[in-house]
Each structure stands twice: as structure tokens, then as C-alpha cells.
């Protein structure tokens, strides 16, 4: 419906004919609803992301724990005939891996490996592998667990801000004490006799030179589950190994 304009010598101001503030009410309501919708979408995306991250964390933990549990079961059978040890531990072993590099990493009698894959320096590997070796009497001698996922982000291991001080890891330290100092997962665990050896790989960037400093930390636990010797730190630089020049 259109209203007839009053005839007057002064041009009529349309803004004055509208009550103050009434022209923005519908716009404010509309923009408010739009903002609520945007907030709702953002919250929904964040919630979905949280669920995905949580799921991946659980999946990573479950997959890794499965390999550790199997290696621990086999480690308890060290000293028994290999076939008996494998049977009583309830772990299926095979004589070789479908992954070429796995067969060349070390000397072993048989192995078990994850059915999931990861990549280390563009090489496909199982997420974890358990190597078993027997002695000349056919008895299970050692069990080695390797978690290749710890090297998937960087072949040098986990990135740290600076060098790790291992002086607090001394004979008598517990596993939780070691975890508190290192704050990372071992990439290799070796069960042999009454000792358990854990190796950790990490690296950091030298702030002054920009060079990568990479190290391997070895911690050995005794039969009582306590550290039985000071932690050993070895330099391990993948780039230097690749670029090393052999002299005649």
C-alpha cells in the first residue's frame, strides 16, 4: 500500500517519517541470527575435529599397545624352546616379512608385525615389528620390539627444543622416572636374559648454527624393573651418514 504525500513547499524527509530506531530492528535480528548460525557451524567443526583427534589418539595407542603386549608375552618365555614359547605366548610368527627392509634390519629367526603401515623417509614399513632370535639349542634368546611410527615424522626421531639432560636417570630409577625425564616413547625395546634395553631417538635445531643435532639414548633396566646403569647418549646424524665422504 502506498501513502499519498502531503503537498508542501518543503521536501519531505523519509527518514523523519520513520520512528527512530525502527528501521534497523529487522536487520539487527537478521544479523544476530546469522552470527548464531556461524557460531553454531564453528562449534560443530571444532567438536568434529576433537572427536577425530581423540579417535586417532585411541587408535594409535591401541595399535602400539598391541605390539608391546605381544613382545612382553614372548619376553616372558625367553629360555624356552622357540616353538613352545610362541605357542604358550599365543603369538603368530613368520619366517620373513613382506617388507624388504624389515628382512635386512637385523638377524632374526622369526618375526611378527603390524597389519597397518607407516612411512619412514618415504619407505613403507609396518607400524611395528617384533623380532625373535633363538640360540644354538633352539631356545628363545631375545625379543626385539621396534615402533617405526616414532620415526614417521622425522627419521631422527622426536623433535625437542634443546638437548635432553639425562643426568637424573641413574641406577635405581623407575620406568616412570625415565618417562618424566625423556617425555617420549622408545623406538626400540630389546628383551634379552634378565635385562630390558630401551632406545630413544630425538633431535633439535641448534639455534646459532641451524644444524640438526640428533641423538640416541639407551636406558637399560634390570630384572627388578629399575635402571641398572647410567643412560648412554650417542650422536646419530642421518644427514652426516648420507653425506660422509670415504677416503682412499
Q: What pLDDT tens digit does each residue of the chain (248 aa) get?
A: 434 444 444 444 444 444 444 455 555 555 666 666 666 666 555 555 444 444 444 434 444 589 999 999 999 999 999 999 999 999 999 999 989 899 988 889 999 999 999 999 889 999 999 999 999 999 999 999 999 999 999 999 999 999 999 999 999 999 999 999 999 999 999 999 999 999 999 999 998 888 899 999 999 999 999 999 999 999 997 777 777 776 66
- How far does Cα 130 stand from its chain's mean position? 18
Q: Is residue 214 part of a domain?
A: yes
What pTM did the predictor assign?
A: 0.73
| Under 8 Å between Cβ of 219 and 171 | no
In a domain, 25, yes or no: no
3-state helix, strand, coil in the chain (%, to 5): 35, 25, 40
Joined grid coordinates for residue 215: 641423538
Helix (H) or strand (E) holding 155: none
Query: Does 224 reside within a domain?
Result: yes
Q: Among candidates 152, 237, 157, 159, which has minimal Cα distance to 204?
A: 159
Pairing relationship of beta strands 232-235 and 195-205 according to DSSP bridges: unpaired
116: in domain: yes
Question: How many domains are there within the chain?
Answer: 1
Domain around 198: 48-243
Residue 6 lies in a domain: no
With left for phi above 0 and alpha for psi between -120 and 50, is residue 86 left, alpha or beta?
alpha
**68-94 per-residue burial string, b: 16 or more CB within 10 A, e: under 16:** bebbebbbebbebebeebbeebebebe
Q: Is 5 contained in some domain?
A: no
- 164 within some domain: yes
Rg (CA), the chain: 32
In a domain, 31, yes or no: no
Q: Which helix or strand (DSSP H or E) is residue 130 part of?
A: strand 128-134
Amino acid at each position: 500500500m502506498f501513502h499519498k504525500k502531503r503537498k508542501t513547499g518543503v521536501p519531505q524527509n523519509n527518514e523523519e517519517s520513520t520512528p527512530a530506531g525502527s528501521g534497523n530492528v529487522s536487520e539487527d535480528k537478521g544479523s544476530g541470527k546469522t552470527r548464531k548460525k556461524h557460531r553454531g557451524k564453528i562449534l560443530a567443526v571444532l567438536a568434529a575435529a576433537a572427536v577425530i583427534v581423540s579417535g586417532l589418539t585411541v587408535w594409535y595407542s591401541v595399535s602400539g599397545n598391541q605390539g608391546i603386549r605381544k613382545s612382553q608375552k614372548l619376553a616372558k618365555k625367553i629360555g624356552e624352546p622357540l616353538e613352545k614359547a610362541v605357542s604358550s605366548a599365543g603369538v603368530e610368527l613368520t619366517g620373513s616379512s613382506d617388507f624388504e627392509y624389515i628382512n635386512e634390519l637385523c638377524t632374526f629367526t622369526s618375526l611378527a608385525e603390524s597389519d597397518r603401515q607407516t612411512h619412514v623417509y618415504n619407505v613403507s614399513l609396518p607400524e611395528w615389528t617384533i623380532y625373535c632370535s633363538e640360540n644354538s639349542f633352539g631356545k628363545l634368546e631375545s625379543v626385539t620390539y621396534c615402533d617405526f611410527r616414532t620415526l614417521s615424522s622425522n627419521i631422527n626421531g622426536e623433535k625437542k627444543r634443546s638437548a635432553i639432560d639425562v643426568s637424573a636417570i641413574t641406577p635405581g630409577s623407575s620406568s616412570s622416572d625415565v618417562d618424566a625425564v625423556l617425555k617420549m616413547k622408545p623406538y626400540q625395546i630389546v628383551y634379552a636374559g634378565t635385562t630390558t634395553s630401551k632406545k630413544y631417538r630425538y633431535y633439535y635445531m641448534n639455534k646459532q648454527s641451524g644444524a640438526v643435532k640428533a641423538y640416541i639414548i639407551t636406558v637399560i633396566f634390570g630384572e627388578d624393573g629399575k635402571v641398572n646403569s647410567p643412560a648412554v647418549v650417542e650422536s646419530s646424524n642421518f644427514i652426516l651418514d648420507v653425506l660422509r665422504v670415504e677416503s682412499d
